[in-house]
Amino acid sequence: MGKELDRSYWQGPNAAHRRVMYKGAGFSDADIKTKPHIGIANSFMEGSPGSAHLRTLAEAVKQGIWQAGGVPIEFGIPATCGNLSNGAEELKYELAGRDVVSMSVEFVTKVHHFDGLVMLASCDNIIAGTYLAAARLNIPSIVVTGGSMVPGNWKGKQVLAPDVDVAILSGNNEDLTDMEECVCPSYGACAVMGTANTMQILGETLNLVIPGTATIPAPDLRKVRSARDAGRHIIELVKMDLKPSDLITRETLLNAIMVDMAIGGSTNAVLHILSIARDLGIDITLDDFDKLSAEIPCICGVRPNGPYNVVDLHNIGGLPAVMKMLEGKLHTSVPTITGKTWKEELADVRVEPSAVLSSLENPLHKEAGLKVLRGNLAPKGAIIRPSGVPEDMKYFRGTAKVYSNDFDALKAIQSGEIKPGDVIVLRYEGCKGAPGMKEVMLSTDALVAFGLHKSVGLVTDARFSGFNHGPIVGHVCPEAFDGGPIALVEDGDIITVDTIGGSVSVELSDEELEKRRAAWVRPEPKVTKGILAVYANTCRTADEGGAMQTW
């Protein structure tokens, strides 16, 4: 494997204008003409603990690249923190932001003809965007994760960022200011199994992150050393011409799905895995998630599946420990980013079952961390997180109360309009309807804050955060804006959700649904200009990943 580096783009009289630009930026003829050029896509941004430390890691990456004989060329890519827009309408930008990140990396990489890429990211859809860019560009690529934040301590108990969200909505402001000072005591992604840490961990399984490095806590200096190692290793990948299409196969993606089930990962991982598969032309559908959810229970006790945090998971071995527990189920003959197979990578991994990470034989939860539901309310599928659903709510039947945005549902919860036994139907917040498939954090957090998460269901065509727990069904497809059955539900209809049986339905006859469909009128778009309008006009449906992929 491997091929000679093509330097023709930088050589000869016709490339003088390119060389002039690089020389003006401080590079020499030897740098320009003979060495591999590695793009460093850095999502550094000062407004979030998940990205404010990435300059330090980028410098370590560049040191490694220089040491290995390459030329690092750093550029910036967009970065946000989903928690910053929690409770605001701007949260709908997050999923579209994944595609903006991917396109930003693509734009710079294509123009500059990089031979390889190292991307630095930590948070939610930003890190997912770097994975999508790797798949789309298909040149040797590594992602360096920002790692996890360490948990805070408030009044002698562990606190994490989601605790503030619930405290705000509970209406008890007495200690809120003190808690604010404690929940984010370091750089890194919030230390729960939200989208950020889920995608960091899955990056190792996807062969885009070096094994054992994703969960290194952000303040740990091993994170800097691993970043330098990544800089050296990208040169090896370039020499071997080892590309994402070589390392991300159908079996690789099935491994990622199994790991997501086992760790009780964020439901957003479904969207990201489906989008990566689509870009690489690999046949992965919701049926694969459905099949594997019956085989792989949740074995990880990191919040919201248990009381622990991602640092606890790292301390017992991180992703390699999880994969060791799953070894008998995984496709271990597939290659890894190190050049070894997963069988070889896992040969020396030692892990004992614990409260943080249990075994498949004695799992923390009997069900997977994620399950696909189907029925007349979601013919193309919906998603629930069984490990976060109370036992007595695994099957529930309730009366629909219908809302067309997250804010109205929140007001209904706060005013006491929502009662035990109700099912909130929250629609027109999907990929096209929001647009951007908003995370309905206000409603889901409010259910917990008001003690209703054990007696009230929520069904939506939107997303929900990896922080959330309770009987929440998301990703209902087709979405309301496309005329899906969720658009036809009325107040007082009876909704049934069967987590074990895998169904979500409304107790209406086909004839009644058709009658309502004939009377349904598509609402005007909520957004008509800017990136969200572009996203709404070009995105796939949620069951296909929701990315801006018109091919």
Look up the pTM and report it: 0.95
Q: 510 and 379 in contact (C-beta within 8 Å)?
A: no
465 a catalytic residue: yes
Beta bridge mates, 141: 117
Give me the domains of the chain, ranges plus CATH numbers: 35-177+187-346 (3.40.50.2300), 371-544 (3.50.30.80)
Q: Which residue has the tokens 């099957």?
A: 395
- Size (the chain), residues: 551
For residue 225, what are the contacts with CB-CB under 8 A and spacing of at least 6?
60
Using DSSP, state whether 157 is helix, strand or coil: strand
Q: Which of 465, 503, 505, 509 is catalytic?
A: 465
Q: 459 and 377 in contact (C-beta within 8 Å)?
A: yes
From first to last of its 551 residues, the chain has per-residue pLDDT tens of 567 888 899 999 999 999 999 999 999 999 999 999 999 999 999 999 999 999 999 999 999 999 999 999 999 999 999 888 877 888 899 999 999 999 999 999 999 999 999 999 999 999 999 999 999 999 999 999 999 999 999 999 999 887 887 777 666 667 788 888 999 999 999 999 999 999 999 999 999 999 999 999 999 999 999 999 999 999 999 999 999 999 999 999 999 999 999 999 999 999 999 999 999 999 999 999 999 999 999 999 999 899 999 999 999 999 999 999 999 999 999 999 999 999 999 999 999 999 999 999 999 998 888 899 999 999 999 999 888 888 889 999 999 999 999 999 999 999 999 999 999 999 999 999 999 999 998 898 889 889 998 999 999 999 987 566 778 999 999 999 999 999 999 999 999 999 999 999 999 999 999 999 999 999 999 999 999 999 999 999 999 999 999 87
CA distance 539 to 549: 6
Neighbours of 524 (CB within 10 A): 6
Does the bond joining 390 to the residue before it have cis omega, within 30 degrees of 0? Answer: no
Q: 495 and 459 in contact (C-beta within 8 Å)?
A: yes
CA distance 309 to 189: 11
